[in-house]
Amino acid sequence: MASASVICLAVLVSAATCELLTADQLAKAVPGHLELDPEFRKLHPSIPGPYEHVDPFIVGGVESTPHSRQYQVGIYTPVTTAGISFCGGTLINARTVVTAAHCVDLRVGNLSIFMGAHNMPPGGDLNIVARFAGDVVIHEGWNRSILLHDIALVRFEVAVPLSASIIPILLPRDASNDYLGNTTLVSGWGRASDSINTISPVLREVISWVISNYACRMAYLGIVQDSHICISGAHGRGTCNGDSGGPLVVNGVLIGVVSFGSAFGCEVGWPSAMARITSYLDWIRQNQAPA
């Protein structure tokens, strides 16, 4: 698909002018979550399935201080002619966002991407910059049947204007660092109730820590590989519906992209699995747009 990129300030201006989604489409977006995909359930029946009495959002965390996670991105993806899926993403330079491959591999049109937002769907906040983008690079090894290489890049033709509310995150310098035991922060607009099929109206975040891939592999019966990184789900902490594609951060450095977890929800103590950024540093450098 040919690339497309448009800047819109004070987001909800004319859709005809900026080609962004309508307010109604934004409000009806379905939180993207790999474990709730029927095809995923067929491919991976051993991963715990949905449990209807769990509250699946970033649990055990708090609302983020508005505009404190300046790298956080919200992505609306048209996945059918009548449906919109929502995922997170991370700004890594002024022209590139990293997200999960499963957030964009089924798209049927261009993405609507919001930066500098605290509320979602975004309102008339002047901190927000929106882009309508179609230049997407999905890792060539991504395959839902093996849950490997769940990473993608979205590239803009024109650099995003940076501000106090929009700042790219740093990538790791040491590709050998496994971050085992490090305290992590993960953020997103995951949905706030299993009975409401909408995302959280505000950005939320939770603190956890990196666990060993061995422990994570035991939880997911061998699915987890070296290119994954996992955080503990202890004390009901973790990621869930709508958080896919979002950032896992250690000391201001992006170390993971939210990929999958237990569809039982975040409160059951299952680990959350991510694409390990240090496994993809060369791929990112080769495919990102020049800043």
pLDDT band with cut points at 50, 70 and 90 for residue 151: very high
Residue 37: the pLDDT is 57
Q: What is the mean pLDDT of residues 118-141?
A: 91
d(CA 158, CA 179): 34
Nearest one of 73, 77, 62 to 32, comparing CA atoms? 77
Residue 127: the pLDDT is 87
Residue 164, pLDDT > 90, answer: yes
Q: Give me 188's structure tokens.
A: 């997103």
Residue 201, pLDDT > 70, answer: yes
- The CATH classification number of 72-168+281-287 equals 2.40.10.10
Strands (E), 26-165: 30-31, 62-63, 72-78, 84-93, 96-99, 111-115, 129-133, 135-138, 152-155
Q: Are 239 and 246 in contact (CB under 8 A)?
A: yes
Enumerate the H helices of 168-240 as residue ranges.
Answer: 213-219
Q: What is the mean pLDDT of residues 155-178?
A: 96
Residue 112, pLDDT > 80, answer: yes
Q: Which residue would you say has higher pLDDT here, 195 or 6?
A: 195
What digits encode the pLDDT tens for the residues 263-274? 544 444 578 889
pLDDT band with cut points at 50, 70 and 90 for residue 4: very low
pLDDT band with cut points at 50, 70 and 90 for residue 94: very high
**Sequence spans of domains, the chain:** 72-168+281-287
- Going by the DSSP 8-state scheme, the letter that residue 109 receives in this structure is S
Q: What is the mean pLDDT of residues 177-191?
A: 90
Residue 288: the pLDDT is 98
| Amino acid occupying residue 61 | G
What digits encode the pLDDT tens for the residues 25-73? 777 676 565 554 555 556 555 554 433 333 334 545 688 999 999 999 9
d(CA 71, CA 11): 18
For the chain, first and last CA: distance in Å?
22
pTM of the entire predicted model: 0.82
Residue 190: the pLDDT is 78
Residue 126, pLDDT > 60, answer: yes
What digits encode the pLDDT tens for the residues 206-250? 888 999 999 888 888 778 999 999 998 754 445 545 578 999 999
Residue 55: the pLDDT is 32
Residue 266: the pLDDT is 46
- Residues with a catalytic annotation lie at 102, 150, 244
Residue 191, pLDDT > 50, answer: yes
